[in-house]
Amino acid sequence: MKNPTSEEVINRYNQVMVPAVGHYQQISFARGEGSYLWDFEGNKYIDLAGGIATCTIGHCHPEVVREITDQASILTHTSTVGYYKENVEFAELLRSQVPKYMQDGKVIFLNSGSESIEAALKMARMISNRSTVMAFLGGFHGRPMGALAATASSAAYRKGLSGLMVGVVHAVYPYCYRCPLGHRSKKTCGLACADLIRQFIKYTVPASDLAAILLEPLAGEGGYIVPPSEFIKEVRTICDETGALMIVDEIQTGVGRTGKMFCFEHFGVEPDVIVFAKAAGGGMPIGGFIARKEYADQWIPGAHGSTFGGNPVSCRAGKKTLEIILRDKLAERAARLGDYAMAKLSAAKQEIPEIGDVRGLGLMIGIELINRYGSPNPALLKKVLAEAGKRGVILIKAGESVIRLCPALNIPKETLDRSLEIIIETISDMAKNSH
């Protein structure tokens, strides 16, 4: 049967699919391999979106494909009717990669990041018998009604909704490049964002009601924002003082993305719950969390469940992906390539005024675009994303005007180099055309 054109796929999509789900690029992809995608016309693209930080070892890695194919021919699903060895083996491998204090922790597998966030919040509230969760402005934790209560990266996600999970309050995340509290330097800040958390607890959120503090150790959709190490440590201290659980959302940052297995390891803290998803499945849908044993064991049987969570196919794919990341030392490679990319982009920043900030950890890099007044420049961002696609590089956004780079950790250096050159040229050209 003749392949459709990209335009035909988009038109057919618009006829049958709800418009609520948006797309970063108006391109229809026919296949992927490694760090490349092809459309139905045969055009080849360098993929720096990575399935939104999901395809950590690229598209259709042959070793992962073999695991998926083999498992699909043996057993795909029985749900919680019985036990699988595949999810046990994957849980054991995951648990071996967390710091020693958590290596006797307990794992739950679900289908997505947002489900995993909801489960983590549910567990924290149930075992503590406390009612309140604190999250952060700019944070993204998913779109279902429970996770959405914690998400605060766009008011559009909440438009017309009043039935969100109650008991969630939002503090201020330390966006140092564009300080929400108006500080011009860290010298005048004095960890003001952390001080505000204590103000919340003093005046509006009794410590005895605080079940958990949920945060991204590096803010994802909010703009790829790297917080000060001191802030993350202070959140841990506040959790210790109040008895609240510290839940880190490692859905986008975990499994080697930032140059360590989990991003929180950059900050020298010990969270109580580590939520994972995206890259953990090797391109297959999976999510879950690892929690300290003393907390997880209080969650009584039947308190939670999932029909498809931890299915053998996704677990085989995830286990093989993690084995490849460890074998090929891809987290360490991400740190090296990330430093290289940040240096190249920072050099371009000196020549292109519209690049306001370059930030990130490992291969999780944000390029913030600004106008002549230093304000966010979403119009330029939109042009850059579209034009980069035409020039053969797939990009997506984060925050109001940030280019989000989250390529495969095994992207060839020469491929990354070429894509960075195209990005820099595209920003420069689109900025000139905007004047």
Q: Which residues contact 18 (CB under 8 A, 6 or more apart)?
A: none
pLDDT at residue 435, rounded to an integer: 64
> Is residue 69 situated within a structural domain?
no
Q: Encode pLDDT of 155-211 as tens digits.
A: 999 988 878 889 999 999 999 899 888 887 776 787 899 999 999 999 999 999 999
Q: Is the same domain home to 311 and 335?
A: no
Domain boundary among the residues 327, 355, 382 is at 327
Question: Both 217 and 358 in a single domain?
Answer: no
The answer to the question of residue 48 being in a domain is yes
Q: Residue 109's pLDDT is what?
A: 98
* Same-domain pairing of 313 and 345: no
Residue 185: the pLDDT is 72
Residue 42 lies in a domain: yes
Provide the phi-psi class of 374: left if phi over 0, else alpha when psi is between -120 and 50, else beta: left
> Angle at which helices 312-327 and 85-96 pack, to 10 degrees?
30
Clarify whether residues 377 and 323 are in a common domain.
no
Q: What is the pLDDT of residue 228?
A: 94
81, 45: one domain: no
Residues 343 and 319 reside in one and the same domain: no
Q: Are residues 248 and 392 in the same domain?
A: no
Q: Do 192 and 284 share a domain, yes or no?
A: yes
70 domain residue, yes or no: no
Two tokens at 91? Answer: 């849980």
Q: Are both 298 and 418 inside the same structural domain?
A: no
Total domain count for the chain?
2
Residues 321 and 367 placed together within one structural domain of the fold: no
In this structure, the answer to whether residues 161 and 131 fall within a common structural domain is yes
CA dihedral 276, 282, 285, 289 (to 10 degrees): -20
pLDDT at 59: 98
d(CA 48, CA 25): 12
Asked if 36 contacts 392 with a C-beta cutoff of 8 angstroms, the reply is no
- Whether residue 310 is contained in a domain is answered as yes
65 within some domain: no
283, 302, 327 — which closes off a domain? 327
Q: Quick check: is 342 in a domain?
A: yes
What global pTM score does this model have?
0.96
What CATH number does residue 116 fall under? 3.40.640.10
Q: Which residues of the chain have pLDDT under 50?
A: none
What confidence score (pLDDT) does residue 237 get? 97
Nearest in space to 109 (alpha carbons), one of 126, 131, 130, 84: 84
Q: Let me know if residue 269 belongs to a domain.
A: yes
Task: Residue 14: give its domain's CATH number.
Answer: 3.90.1150.10
User: Are 387 and 319 found together in one domain?
Assistant: no
Q: Provide the domain limits for residue 402.
A: 6-60+330-434
Residue ending a domain, among 305, 327, 349, is 327
- In this prediction, residue 328 carries a pLDDT of 98
